[in-house]
Chain A
Amino acid sequence: MEYAVETFSLTKIFSGWWGRGKVYAVDELNLQIRYNEVFGLLGPNGSGKTTALKMLLGLLFPTKGRALCLGGDGADPKINARIGFLPEESYLYKYLSARETLDFYGRLFALPTKVRRMRTEALLEMVGLKAVANRAVGTFSKGMARRIGLAQALINDPDLLILDEPTTGLDPIGTRQIKDLILKLAQRGKTILLCSHLLADVEDVCDRIAILYGGRIQTQGQVKDLLQQSNKRQITTDAISDAAVEKIKRIVHDERADCVVTSPMDKLETFFIKTVEAAQQQAQPTSGAVSTTQIGGFLAKEVPVENILDKLISAPVSAESSPGSETTEPVVPAESSGPQPDEQLLSRLAEPTKPTEPKGVVSEEEAGTESVEPESGREQESPKSILESLTDRPKTEHEDKEQTGDNQGEPGNA
């Protein structure tokens, strides 16, 4: 059980009628993915990434070899309960609304009603589709469908997350968010297997990668080892004077080395995110996804053994919570934690019925089901803390209700 995913000479041969056109989609694949590792499976189109994943999950049967997921068979329901899977394209039931879709998948995991509702709402918020949650997903754009697909893979808070080209069709914010999500989940001890041909995605997040071509692994190893140019050094400074630059140049020359000095460019990704977020702050209307860079409450929660420090780190508003965590810092621009309320949260406050619904539910549930208690208690923290930190608004009825919900909840916890 030392590997989260392990394959032994996994081979898949597709053959047409009468053995015409044999395709070695996956050929003698030996993968070993450790627990708590972010593993990237890279490769050009048709190199067998998807086929390998399908065999891991029992959607295809290997021609030869064996695959183990979390120490068991990937088709076993017990193992499936701990896996999240996002297929190549988001295959969704067109006639279900976004909320119903997540609810349906939640039911498949036999999540208790209250937990299911809460996670559904948290995920909708996270993928920025709360405003269109009642629209049929058949009417969604590709990227929006992708977001639901992602939410669907996360509804069980999986130990092993398998993502097949997660960023196709997503806008840069969505892409960035997925990357952050992956890092956040990795921090929480989850294992992630990521397939992609987009190198930028993989580079940012993966611990280890394997490059697949023609169904065979060509190369694999630590990203750092593979990419580090050990014959070059880079120094990044604040805006220093030209004189200082000259000094440095001289030192480098003394070392008999060359040196180039430029101002670093903003990455287009960062620029794009800033622009869109500015628009969102002005509450410009959109029928698309409303992006946030938050990560769903229950996904950010820590494993119970960890201490208060970790809890602080995992709080949803990252800028406020952890200056030390390099992963989330660049993503959340300073404004979003500032005095102006987020557009989404405003709309939540303005709408009387919605915010109260999950809250009431939480308190009941805490009194009722045992196993769910610790989870739900923490899950509830996140929306509330956002509310408090982002609004100067005096307490309304709903917030009062929310408080009583909490109070009722406490004795249940004790």
Chain B
Amino acid sequence: MHSIWAVAANTIKQALRMKIAAAFIILLMVLLPVMSVLMTGDGTLKGRLQSFVSYGLSLTSFLLCLLTIIISIYSVTTDIEQRQIYTVITKPIRRSHFLLGKLLGVILLDVGLLVLFAGIIYAITICIPVFLGKVLGVILLGEASLVLFGAIIYAITIHVRFLWKALGVTFLSLALLGMVSFLVYKIAIYTPDLTLITESELAEANNEFFTARAGLTPGKVDVGQEVEETYEKLKKTGQIEVFFPGLSARDIRAQLTVQEKLRKRAVPVGRRLVWKFDNVKPTDPNGSLFIRFKYEVSVNPPDMKVYGQWLVGDLRPILYGTKIETPIFRSDRIDGDLVRTFHEIEVPAQVVAKDHYLGVVFINVPLNDTVVIFPLEDGLEVLYKADTFTGNYIRAVLLILFRLIFLASLGILASTFLSFPVAMLLCLVLFVIASFSVFFVGTFDYLSLGVGTLYSYSFKWIIRLLPQFDTYNPNKFLVPGRFIGWFLVGKAAGFMVCIKAFLLFVLALVIFSFREIAKIVV
């Protein structure tokens, strides 16, 4: 164990003192505050917050990914190429411990940097609503605190041997940080606002950004039987060839399934559609629920609006005549809602039944002249606040950390049998593929319809083995204020770290233990 820590500490020192990490740190230190000022999004407070968080986190994640790849590869390959490993590996340290130490060092450095930068992004995000308009204040505070933060970290890591020195610098920096923050705060308070944040903008930001809302979508409907019936009927009447010329039975069934599902979500005039949700657990019973929906129509109304009536609550008393225990919320959308755009209805959370049941009813009022359809993917969703923004943010950062851990293992694996430039190239390519896995899979699925077998046994396999960074992209959740469940985090941890990173690392251990360390290949 001692030796693992020794190697880990040495790896961190190497990364910091060889100034590899420094370049990345400085870049982020400069870019993040600048971005906080420049990223305005759509101009509203919410838009500004969304664009800052998404770009800030993306940039941080991207740079840290690069850094992880570089450091993990550099630190193993230089040890081998410059032969420091001769003196290390002949000490009582197992080869596996050597690699573990390297991995641990890279991960610890990642954790440190991630905490630092995620902390900075968080602080700036929280500050934006307070200081917005007092641009000067934001810049000053941001820059000053970042520089001082940097000084603290630098002092602690580089001069760790001289503890008193590190403590001195830390203390001084903290004192300075306090003074500067106080000054900036004073300046900000007394300078007039350049941009006025309206109450409604603030409310919007709080409801839709500074939150972690869980979304419930209606359960999947099984339409297998209906599809079979229709299919048989078409076949009997010989209409298959008419409607689906030249398609295979599987493709026809797939098309029929979509049609059938859409039919279940279509509401003719004067009819109603009922959704039932079973597991609605808002954190705050006195808070709000949100019904988020999007209309699709068969015939475009003249004003492009649909006038619907919504009922939300425990509908069982009405349907089965039991005792009414919770209120039922009713919303008549007399102003109408534009089709093909998202709308939200805020509903008090009290309407949820004691057993977490919630019913939602949409009534297509006769005022409309068209069938209203709720798109399959995102036609209707029940949103409720499941956690705070902070909790959500922490989980988002965890998702990024898993990525880094995976890349660290990948880098170490590559450097057990490749030289620095080759290993770098390999890892960068794999990193890009993992980052755009959905895109790659989609494109290649399309392009390789003809060469199916070759593709599905080679490239597709590689993509499967790589983690899908894009499916676990935290911005997908943070920007719309969606709840990142622990289940998702667990899944990401399981797949990316416990399975994939672990396998890579085991492979690295195997290769490394059978490798002739002193073999020189020119």
Q: Which residues of A contact B (CB under 8 A)?
A: 54, 57-61, 74, 77-78, 80-81, 83, 85, 87, 89, 91-93, 95-96, 99-100, 104-105, 107-110, 149, 152-153, 156
CB distance from A94 to the nearest CB of B (A): 8
Are A107 and B3 also in contact (CB < 8 A) when A59-B517, A77-B92, A93-B14 are?
yes
A153 to B5, CA, bound (A): 20
Cross-chain contact A92 with B84 (CB below 8 angstroms): yes
Does B316 interact with chain A (Cβ within 8 Å)? no
Query: Please, which residue of chain B has its CB at the minimum distance from the CB of A149?
Result: B87
Are A110 and B517 also in contact (CB < 8 A) when A95-B18, A100-B161 are?
no
Are A108 and B92 also in contact (CB < 8 A) when A54-B518, A92-B84 are?
yes
Are A96 and B92 also in contact (CB < 8 A) when A54-B518, A91-B83, A91-B84 are?
no
CB distance from B386 to the nearest CB of A (A): 46
10 contacts between A and B (CB under 8 A): A58-B517, A59-B517, A59-B518, A60-B517, A83-B90, A85-B86, A91-B86, A95-B13, A107-B2, A110-B92
Query: Please, which residue of chain A has its CB at the minimum distance from the CB of B18?
Result: A95
A322 to B46, CA, bound (A): 85
Are A110 and B2 also in contact (CB < 8 A) when A77-B94, A95-B17 are?
yes
Cross-chain contact B92 with A109 (CB below 8 angstroms): yes
Does B176 interact with chain A (Cβ within 8 Å)? no
Q: B residues within 8 A CB of A149? A: 87
Q: B residues within 8 A CB of A95? A: 13-14, 17-18
Are A93 and B10 also in contact (CB < 8 A) when A87-B83, A107-B2, A107-B3 are?
yes
A109 to B88, CA, bound (A): 10
A92 to B91, CA, bound (A): 14
Does B355 interact with chain A (Cβ within 8 Å)? no
Does B183 interact with chain A (Cβ within 8 Å)? no
A81 to B2, CA, bound (A): 13
Cross-chain contact B14 with A105 (CB below 8 angstroms): no
Cross-chain contact B87 with A91 (CB below 8 angstroms): yes
Does B93 interact with chain A (Cβ within 8 Å)? yes
Among A77, A87, A104, which residue has its beta carbon within 8 angstroms of that of B10?
A: A104
B62-96 interface mask toward A, CB cutoff 8 Å, 1 = contact, 0 = none? 00000000000000000000111111111111100
Q: A residues within 8 A CB of B85? A: 91
Q: B residues within 8 A CB of A92? A: 84, 87
Other A-B pairs beyond A58-B90, A59-B90, A105-B87, 20, CB < 8 Å: A58-B89, A60-B516, A74-B90, A77-B92, A77-B93, A78-B92, A80-B90, A81-B91, A83-B90, A91-B84, A91-B86, A92-B84, A96-B10, A100-B13, A108-B93, A109-B91, A109-B92, A110-B92, A152-B87, A153-B87
Q: A residues within 8 A CB of B84? A: 91-93
Most buried by A among B9, B90, B92, B516: B90
Among B17, B90, B161, which residue has its beta carbon within 8 angstroms of that of A57?
A: B90
A153 to B87, CA, bound (A): 8
Q: Which 6 A-B pairs have the closest CB atoms?
A: A107-B6, A59-B518, A77-B92, A110-B2, A108-B91, A81-B92
Cross-chain contact A110 with B13 (CB below 8 angstroms): no
Q: B residues within 8 A CB of A59? A: 86, 89-90, 516-518
Q: B residues within 8 A CB of A83? A: 90
A61 to B516, CA, bound (A): 6
